[in-house]
Structure 1
């Protein structure tokens, strides 16, 4: 397994196992995460603290379900396609 694949496996495990503490060492200081909602124009988290709080909120929210649909790894880059499902109690 490559280093990139190991990081992706660890990252996915944080969500699939609802173990948000696994994210602490995986997020870069210059992290940027853009999502499609729930706001009309999506949401954006910038920097370690915002991204960690956002990802930990998602990973620990019992109203959200995660399914990994595809992982594509090319050297030190990776793309994960997830399906995220939620209930009306979704809070992130």
Structure 2
């Protein structure tokens, strides 16, 4: 019996595209420069934020999502350490640690989804 290795080229291409979108997204927070968000966020994007606890707030539409992420990215004295980004097709998981201006930090994860080359969904969770 022979076993054949099958590689799904379309899924692999989609994963590469998603990985590039996530790289650019993460760069927004690493560089504190939200300029790229307008190109990365879909018109129908939805964010389920980490605050307020326990369920967070829902932000719908490109303008709301870009505004939220821009505010987070440009918060003085803060930084994100990206611990891992895992991509599978149109989905990505980003594990991160956020350092606040007061020196405290928290760890969390974003579950992301892309469609048509743009972010359409982001669900954020933090360790409590």
Instruction: Tell whether 2:98 aligns with 1:84.
Output: yes
Gaps of 5+ in 1: none
Aligned to 1:11: 25
Higher-Rg structure is 2
d(CA) in 2 for partners of 1:33, 1:85: 21
Q: How does 1:44-55 map to 2 (within 5 A)?
A: 44-55=58-69
Deviation of 1:16 (Å): 0.2
Structure having the larger proportion of residues in strand: 2
TM-score by length of 2: 0.61
Secondary structure of 1:49's match? Answer: helix
CA positional deviation for 1:64: 2.3
User: Please, which of 66, 73, 90 is the counterpart of residue 80 of structure 2?
Assistant: 66
Query: Which whole-Å CA distance do the structure 2 matches of 1:61 and 1:69 have between them?
Result: 20
Q: How many residues align?
A: 87
Give the TM-score of the pair, scaled to structure 1: 0.82
**Aligned-residue CA RMSD in angstroms?**
1.7
User: 2 CA distance for matches of 1:51 and 1:36?
Assistant: 13
Name stretches of at least 5 consecutive residues in structure 2 with no aligned partner.
1-14, 103-128
Q: CA deviation at 1:40?
A: 3.9
